[in-house]
Amino acid sequence: MLSPVRYASEPDLSVEDFAKVLKSSTLAERRPVEDAARLKNMLENADVIITARVDGNIVGVSRAVTDYAFCCYLSDLAVDEKFQKQGIGKKLIEETHKKAGSQTSLYLVAAPAAVNYYPKIGMPSYPCFGIPRAK
């Protein structure tokens, strides 16, 4: 029998664990997983990092930036493919929003493989605009 999933605010998440869960999910395709310095910067400058662990092993992460007053951007939501379809992603989103504050609106840009997931968990779709990064 699997141990329960433990969710926690983990502002000091290691680069190694972050890279591990990105690689075990589909998110590594769109993240600089081979650039440890950049991953470190991503973690250090995030406002909210929530993890999901089973027996101490990372199986999910959400990473967000927020002003804690009006908006929260969920930049990364990754769940190990072996642990998907168990409600972990939805719970990570809920915990992230709770940490950012109920007065904030939480937004994200869906990965192509996850576009159909978010409406299923009750998130409405909004138009999105942006300027792409240089690399």
| Cα–Cα distance measured from residue 19 to residue 12, given in angstroms and rounded to the nearest whole number | 14
Bigger pLDDT: 62 vs 135: 62
Neighbours of 122 (CB within 10 A): 8
pTM listed for this prediction: 0.92
Count Cα neighbours of 81 within 13 Å in the Cβ-side half-sphere. Answer: 8
pLDDT digits (tens, 9 = 90+) for 19-44: 999 999 988 888 999 999 999 999 99
pLDDT band of residue 1 (cuts 50, 70, 90) is: low
Taking the C-alpha atoms of 58, 86, 93 and 28 in order, what is their torsion angle to the nearest 10 degrees? 50
Percentage of residues in the chain with pLDDT exceeding 70? Answer: 99
Q: From the CB of residue 97, how many other CB atoms can be counted at a distance below 10 Å?
A: 20
Question: Which element (helix H / strand E) includes 19?
Answer: helix 15-24
Q: What is the mean pLDDT of the chain?
A: 93
Encoding tokens for residue 65? Answer: 């930036």
Give the Cα separation of 129 and 121 in Å (integer). Answer: 23
Please give the pLDDT value at position 68: 97
**Cβ proximity of 91 and 7 under 8 Å:** yes
pLDDT tens for each residue of 77-116:
999 999 999 999 999 999 999 999 999 999 999 888 888 8
Tell me, what's the pLDDT at 38? 95
Between 132 and 77, whose confidence is greater? Answer: 77
Query: Look-up: residue for tokens 């310095």?
Result: 37
Cβ neighbourhood burial of 51 (10 Å; 0-12, 13-18, 19+): buried
